[in-house]
Amino acid sequence: MAQRSRKHRPGAGPSEAVPEPNAGMKRGYARGEARNARIREGLEPLGPGERPRAVVIAAVVATLLGLLNLVFLLAGYEVRGEQPALPGVLILSSLLIAAAVGMWKLQYWAILGFQALLGISLAVALLSLLITVQDLRGIAVSVFILITAGSLFWFLVKAMARIQMPDRPRRSQA
């Protein structure tokens, strides 16, 4: 087999710095971290007794959904002609009510858990819209869920950032 020859570039020698293979990725990461730091600086920590509006709305929604599940179960409501499974309804209702209580107390885990439930709801609504919905009512319900759950999810992200912030003195309003 023939050997490949290396072309010699003028001025290139063993002392020339070799570019780092991940330099572009590190620059991008540094830019992202700088942007995140600016955003964190713009956030105001929560005051004593303050609850973000999105968290209050999420707590109310979780409470209503949890209680409505129990009411529909007790009223004998049927889903697609069948009675829903008692353990499933009780587990979901207790999760929603626990999340509501935790969110009211501004517990990070509760908001994160409720966001997980919102994410699952978004995925199910999108899949049902794409696969199973066959009438205008089903389309309207799926779109309604996508808009409301997506909006609540979005607004809870900033609320979670404020809840997670370390205590620091508030900036004066000049």
- How confident is the model over 21-53, as pLDDT tens digits? 777 777 778 788 888 777 777 777 677 778 899
Q: Any idea which of 19-28, 47-56, 68-77, 161-170 has the lowest mean pLDDT?
A: 161-170
Question: pLDDT at position 172, please?
Answer: 45
Q: What is the b/e burial string over 139-169, where b = at least 16 CB atoms within 10 angstroms of the residue's CB?
A: eeebeebeeebbebbebbeebbebbeeeeee
Coil, strand, or helix at residue 140? helix
Q: Give one word for 117, left, alpha or beta, with left for phi > 0 and alpha for psi -120 to 50.
A: alpha
Q: Where along the chain do its domains lie?
A: 51-164
pTM over 0.85: no
Q: How far is residue 8 from each of residues 3, 11, 12, 13, 133, measured CA to CA in Å?
A: 15, 9, 7, 9, 66
Q: How far is residue 58 from each of residues 16, 128, 129, 152, measured CA to CA in Å?
A: 59, 23, 24, 7
